């Protein structure tokens, strides 16, 4: 058996051997604790019938642990300097493919098409670069990649917002966007000490189980998200007042907006942050009729 990559000693050895220095601008905070890595992999539930996608393998600390459990790992890394290192550190694992691309620019769906053939499910497992966590997750959820779940390390504050329930201060349009596509749960809070260098913020692991159907079926998805954003526009305003300020001719249409709220069984004096995703769905369908008839 070879030594795990994710120990402080081996990580330092690898970095010294290649003269590698961290790029803060790429969110390079590497994991140096195998216990945490095992937990992430366990939470993801990957097995030999899983094709895993990793974003940002770094020097391969997490990739190695995924490779031991998954049938296949496809890892996207933006930093060219890491490619020769990964070739070396991951040489014992034949089921790993590293793709040198910016995940935000990559055509992930077609790049993984051949790689995932023959596997029962596709799951994302990663320690994400913190400067782009939300765009990465939204890209994965909206590009019709056939994903069963996403289990990732990210800033605790962002995990809290993604998994937030109505009537909490973390609940907002990001919670709705993520929960529209997934069932979200924070599964672990992670101390800064397990990274080199240590990040400035607290971290958490979130698990997003991708839904087969969105949480609510709406007539117009784009309009639904627009109404959600408008409802959280000014958090201290009532839902009615936020809608009046947002919708074209809102003031003149106050009676029709009140009617739509009543049809959706929503008290106009409530605040947006108290509405469930189902209520937003009903409301956007009612308001759509109003916008369409003008």
Residues that bind ligand SAM (CB under 6 A): 26-31, 55-58, 61-62, 76-79, 82, 102-104, 127, 129, 132
Which position's Cβ is nearest ligand SAM?
Answer: 56
Cβ proximity to ligand SAM: between 70 and 230 the closer is: 70
Q: Are 100 and 77 in contact (CB under 8 A)?
A: yes
Cβ proximity to ligand SAM: between 55 and 137 the closer is: 55
Tokens of 12: 């330092």
Kindly state the smallest distance separating residue 265's Cβ from ligand SAM, in Å: 43
Kindly state the smallest distance separating residue 228's Cβ from ligand SAM, in Å: 27
Instruction: Kindly tell me the sign of the dihedral angle through the C-alpha atoms of 259, 172, 141, 105.
Output: positive
Kindly state the smallest distance separating residue 3's Cβ from ligand SAM, in Å: 15
Cβ proximity to ligand SAM: between 196 and 215 the closer is: 196
Number of neighbours of residue 120 by Cβ within 10 angstroms:
12
Cβ proximity to ligand SAM: between 28 and 284 the closer is: 28
Kindly state the smallest distance separating residue 63's Cβ from ligand SAM, in Å: 7
Q: Name, in order, each residue with C-beta under 8 angstroms of 208's C-beta and a sequence gap of 6 or more.
A: 137, 141, 149, 150, 151, 162, 178, 181, 182, 183, 184
């Amino acid at each position: 058996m070879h030594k795990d990559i994710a120990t402080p000693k081996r990580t330092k050895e690898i970095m010294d051997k290649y003269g590698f220095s961290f790029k803060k601008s790429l969110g390079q905070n590497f994991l140096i604790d195998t216990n945490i890595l095992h937990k992430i992999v366990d939470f993801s539930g990957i097995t030999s019938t899983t094709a895993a996608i990793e974003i940002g393998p770094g020097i391969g600390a997490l990739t190695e642990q995924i490779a031991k459990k998954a049938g296949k790992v496809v890892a996207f890394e933006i930093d060219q300097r890491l490619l020769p290192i990964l070739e070396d550190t991951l040489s014992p694992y034949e089921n790993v493919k590293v793709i040198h691309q910016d995940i935000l620019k990559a055509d992930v769906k077609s790049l993984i098409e051949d790689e995932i053939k023959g596997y029962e499910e596709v799951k994302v497992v990663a320690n994400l670069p913190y400067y782009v966590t939300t765009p990465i997750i939204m890209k994965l959820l909206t590009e019709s990649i056939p994903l069963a779940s996403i289990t990732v390390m990210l800033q605790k504050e962002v995990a809290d917002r993604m998994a937030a329930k109505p009537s909490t201060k973390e609940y907002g349009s990001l919670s709705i966007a993520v929960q529209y596509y997934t069932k979200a749960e924070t599964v672990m809070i992670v101390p800064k000490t397990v990274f080199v260098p240590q990040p400035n913020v607290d971290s958490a692991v979130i698990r997003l189980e991708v839904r087969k159907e969105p949480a609510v079926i709406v007539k117009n998805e784009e309009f639904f998200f627009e109404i959600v954003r408008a409802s959280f526009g000014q958090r201290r305003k009532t839902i009615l007042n936020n809608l009046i300020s947002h919708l074209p001719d809102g003031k003149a249409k106050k009676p029709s907006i009140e009617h739509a709220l009543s049809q959706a069984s929503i008290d106009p004096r409530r605040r947006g942050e108290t509405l469930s995703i189902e209520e937003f769905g009903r409301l956007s369908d009612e308001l759509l009729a109003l916008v369409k008839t003008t």
